[in-house]
A and B are shown apart, each in its own frame.
Chain A
Amino acid sequence: MTENNENLNELLSRFLDERQTHEAAEDIRAGEKLLASFSVPACDQAVINSIKEQIEVRLEARKRQKLASSMFYRVAVAAVIIVLAISGVKFFPEANREQATVGKVGSGFIWDDEIGTGSDEQLTALTAQIDEIEASMLTIRLGENGVEGGMILTNLEMEMSEINGDFWKG
């Protein structure tokens, strides 16, 4: 019955002296011999077959569950991608438009103040310069050029105020 091929004497000798080891090993062997003389009725083959059938049912159920959860996961991922794509299309152009509007309002404000104080050509040239500087400042503020923006920003602001000053001087 036992398949435990352990060296009993070697194991016992770690804890007992030679005589005790021998005695204990004999006791254990005799005890196991006694147990072996009483057979256990064999497990009914019908029970074993029933266990195998139950296992098969469980495995099938698990496979179905796995498939269902995998499908659910794929659908969920697809849904998230679609939502992101739709929101990308819907919101990002609006954000661009908003930036553009802010730029134009700024220019428009300066333009309104300057109506009637200079020639059309001067105004057009100045507005173009100011727009260009504004765009540069915006880029630097947003840090999109990846350069330390503080110094450049100051220079651009000075340049802008100089242009404005020139304009008022005529």
Chain B
Amino acid sequence: MKACQDLKEIIAACQAGSNDAFGRLVDLYASRCYSYFYRLTGNAAQSNDLLSTLFLKLVAKIGTFRLATGSFEKWLFTIASNIFRDHLRRQYRQKKLLEGKAEELKADTTTPAKADVEMIDELQVHMAKLDAETAELVILRFYGGLTFRQIAEMRSEPVGTVLSKVHRGLKRLRELMGHRHD
């Protein structure tokens, strides 16, 4: 309850334009948001860019957050999710542009699986085998630290549907990885 009150105070200060409060907000959420982006992209450089975009967008939009009624984390990860979708669309356009060009240019296109090979672990490889929506739900739940209810509200889906998708996703991941980590 105290942490919740502290967060409200920080957000109120951010809405008043306090630089220190924004600094605290970055300290509080940078790690979780970075993990979220990292597991979605599998690329550290892209995750850093997306993280910067997220916090700068937060500065622009913090005034629209309803402090009295809203869940800040749900709001934050909704913005993060939209940023990731924009990123995918940009990547898709970039890929389309490069398709007609030379083979070496093709090699430079940043698909998550090829972009940063040394940083991609086994989990990342198998996560990419899940459908994009399920993978994002699992990542929101685990790396974003959101509750099933928050994810359901964020996606405008019934909580039962979200539960079922995350359950199936995690089960599939375990199957893909041969239960080696049980």
Contacts and interface: CB of A to CB of B under 8 A. Distances in A.
Interface string B1-33: 000000000000000010100110011001100
A141 interface: no
Contacts, number: 121
B140 to A, nearest CB: 10
B123 A41 contact: no
A35 B123 CA distance: 8
Interface of A is mostly: helix
Contacts of A27: 167, 170-171, 174
Given A38-B122, A42-B31, A32 B142 contact: yes
Contacts of A59: 17, 19, 22, 59
A2 B32 CA distance: 9
Nearest to B38: A40
Interface residues of A, number: 38
Interface string A1-40: 1111010000110110000000010011011111111101
B141 interface: yes
A58 B56 contact: yes
B34 interface: yes
Interface residues of B, number: 49
A31 B51 CA distance: 26
Contact of A31 (B34, B47, B145, B171): B171
B17 A15 contact: no
B148 A6 contact: yes
B100 interface: no
Given A1-B35, A2-B142, A30 B163 contact: no
Interface in B141-170: 141-143, 145-150, 159-160, 163-164, 166-167, 169-170
Interface of B: 17, 19, 22-23, 26-27, 30-31, 34-35, 38-39, 44, 47-48, 51-52, 55-56, 59-60, 119, 121-123, 138, 141-143, 145-150, 159-160, 163-164, 166-167, 169-171, 173-174, 177, 181-182
11 contacts: A1-B145, A6-B149, A24-B163, A27-B170, A30-B182, A31-B169, A34-B177, A40-B38, A52-B23, A55-B23, A56-B19
